[in-house]
Amino acid sequence: MPMKALEGIRILDLTRILAGPYCSMLFADLGAEVIKIEPPEGEMIRDNPPMVETGKEGPHDRSRSGYFLSLNRNKYGITLNLKHPRAISIFKDLVKIGDVVLENYAPGVMKRLGIDYPVLKEINPRIVMGSISGFGQWGPSSGKLAFDIVAQAMSGLMSVTGHPDSPPTKVGTSIGDINAAVHAAFTIMAALWHREKSGVGQHIDVSMQEAMVSIMEGAVVRWTIGKELLTPIGSHNTNESPMAAYRCKDGYIIIGTVGNEHWERFCRAVRKPEWATDPGYATKGQRWAKKYILQKEIEKITEDYTVKELGEMLDRERVANSPILNIQQVVDDPHLNERGYFVDVEHPVIGKAKIPGIPFKLSATPGEVERPSPLLGEHNGFILGKYLGINRAELQKLAAEGVI
C-alpha cells in the first residue's frame, strides 16, 4: 500500500461545528492522524440532522448524526473535560507528541484554559497551532460572536447576493465556515513546511471575515479603484453577459459566455446571427450594461425549448451551459459517480451511508475514506494508552472523576 500524503502528521483537533472539523477532515482524508477531542457529552453537531433512530436513548445516542459522520470520517475520537485540571494535564502530554493543535474557540478561551500558544510552544517548540475565529485573535471585532452568516454579512458577500429587489441574501451553504477551513488547511501546511526548514512551529490566526473578503473577486477593487459599489444582480456574472440562469419550457438553464468569441458561438447556437454584428452588443461591456434587456430577449428564445433541447444546441457550438441540479440529482450525477466522488461507509450505528468524498485526486498518494466518524469517546483507550500509557483501570478512574 503506498504511503499516504500526510502520513506521520498528528493533529490534536479541539474544533467543533463546521470550520474546524472540515479543516481537520482534509488532513485526515490524506492520511494525517487526527485525534478529535470532544467534551464528555460530545460536541453539539452530534445533534444535527439527519438523525437515525438506531441507538436512540441507548449508549450510542450521541452517535446517530449523518452530519457528524460526513465531517468526521477518518478521525480518532477521545473525550476530555478541559475544565478539569487532570484533562488539561493529559492534553499537554499529548501536545508533546503532536504536530498541530487546531481550535476554533472564541479568542481568549484557550488562554483561559491555560493552553494558549505561548504555553504550548514551551511544551513543544515544534507545535503548529491553528486558530479559526470570526474576526481573528485581535482587533476591535475579535470578541464579537460569529457564525457563518455573520462572516457572510461582514465580508460584503450578502450585499451582492440575491436579486435587485430582494433583501440581503445568504448563500445556500455555510461558505464562510468552509472557506476559512480551506485557508486554514493551506496555512497549516505552509507552517509545517517552514518547520521542516527551521525546526520551529508557529501560531496561525485565520479570520473568517478576512478569508471571505479575500474571495470577493473584483468587488473590492471595483470600489477602491473604480468607485463602483456592487449590488445584487441575481444569477448574473459581474463582468460578462450572457452569463446567468435563463428560463426554458421546463425550468432554468445556465448559459455562460466569456468575451466575443463565446458570444458569437452563442448567437449561432440560438439562431440569432444578427446579434453578433449588432453594434449595441459589440463589446462585453456593452452586453453587461444591457444584461437585463438581453435576458428578456434571450428568454423569448429559450422558453420555446426544454433545458435538454437547448443544452444540446449550445453544446454543438461549444457554449458553456448546464441544468441546475437539485441535491438528489447531484448524488445521482453519472459524471460524479464515474469519477468515484461519493463514497459508501459502514457506520456501527447509522449503518451503510453514502457521503461526499474527497474533492481532489493525487496520482501517487490519493486520499481515502477508511473509517466512519468515531463513536463518542471510542478511542479513549487506544489513544491514551498508546501515547500516554494510561491503562484500563486508570481510564475507568478518569471517567468516574469526570475527566473523560
201-257 pLDDT, tens digit per residue, is 999 999 999 999 999 999 999 999 999 999 999 999 999 999 999 999 999 999 999
Q: Please say whether the beta carbons of 14 and 101 come within 8 A.
A: yes
Q: Is 352 exposed, middle or buried (0-12, 13-18, 19+ CB in 10 A)?
A: exposed
Q: What is the mean pLDDT of the chain?
A: 97
- Pair 38, 64 in one domain: yes
pLDDT, average across residues 78-87 = 98
Evaluate whether residue 259 is within a structural domain: yes
Question: Residue 310 has what pLDDT?
Answer: 98
Evaluate whether residue 371 is within a structural domain: yes
Evaluate whether residue 201 is within a structural domain: yes
Evaluate whether residue 160 is within a structural domain: yes
Q: Which residue, 275, 303, 325, sits at the end of a domain? A: 325
How sure is the predictor about 2, in pLDDT bands with cuts at 50, 70 and 90?
confident
Evaluate whether residue 237 is within a structural domain: no
Q: Which residue, 325, 356, 378, sits at the end of a domain? A: 325
* Dihedral pair phi/psi, residue 344, rounded to 5°: -100, 130
Angle (nearest 5°) at CA 185 between 65 and 344: 35
* pLDDT of 306 higher than 80: yes
Q: Is 360 exposed, middle or buried (0-12, 13-18, 19+ CB in 10 A)?
A: exposed
Question: Residue 184 has what pLDDT?
Answer: 98
Q: State the total domains in the chain.
A: 2
- Pair 320, 351 in one domain: no
CATH number at 290 reads 3.30.1540.10
- Pair 353, 309 in one domain: no
- Pair 311, 165 in one domain: no
- Pair 165, 292 in one domain: no
% residues pLDDT > 70 (the chain): 100
Give the three-class secondary structure for 79: strand
Question: Residue 283 has what pLDDT?
Answer: 96
How sure is the predictor about 3, in pLDDT bands with cuts at 50, 70 and 90?
confident
Question: Residue 1 has what pLDDT?
Answer: 60
- Pair 131, 264 in one domain: no
- Pair 191, 311 in one domain: no
Question: Residue 384 has what pLDDT?
Answer: 98
Q: Which residue, 261, 296, 325, sits at the end of a domain? A: 325
Q: Please say whether the beta carbons of 19 and 180 come within 8 A.
A: yes
pLDDT, average across residues 371-395 = 97
- Pair 34, 111 in one domain: yes
52-77 pLDDT, tens digit per residue, is 999 999 999 999 999 999 999 999 99
- Pair 248, 141 in one domain: no
**Residues recognised as catalytic:** 177
Can you tell me the distance from the alpha carbon of 69 to that of 71, in angstroms, rounded to the nearest whole number? 6
- Pair 158, 250 in one domain: no
pLDDT, average across residues 345-364 = 96
CATH number at 104 reads 3.40.50.10540
What range defines the domain where residue 84 resides?
A: 10-214+338-400
Evaluate whether residue 81 is within a structural domain: yes
- Pair 124, 72 in one domain: yes
Evaluate whether residue 220 is within a structural domain: no
* pLDDT of 179 higher than 70: yes
Q: How many CB atoms lie within 10 A of CB 70?
A: 19
How many separate helices (H) and strands (E) can be counted in the chain? 18, 11
Give the three-class secondary structure for 42: coil
Evaluate whether residue 332 is within a structural domain: no
- On the question of a cis peptide bond just before residue 21, with omega within 30 degrees of 0, the verdict is no
- Pair 259, 191 in one domain: no
Query: Cell numbers at residue 99, please?
Result: 504536530
Strands 100-103 and 351-355: unpaired
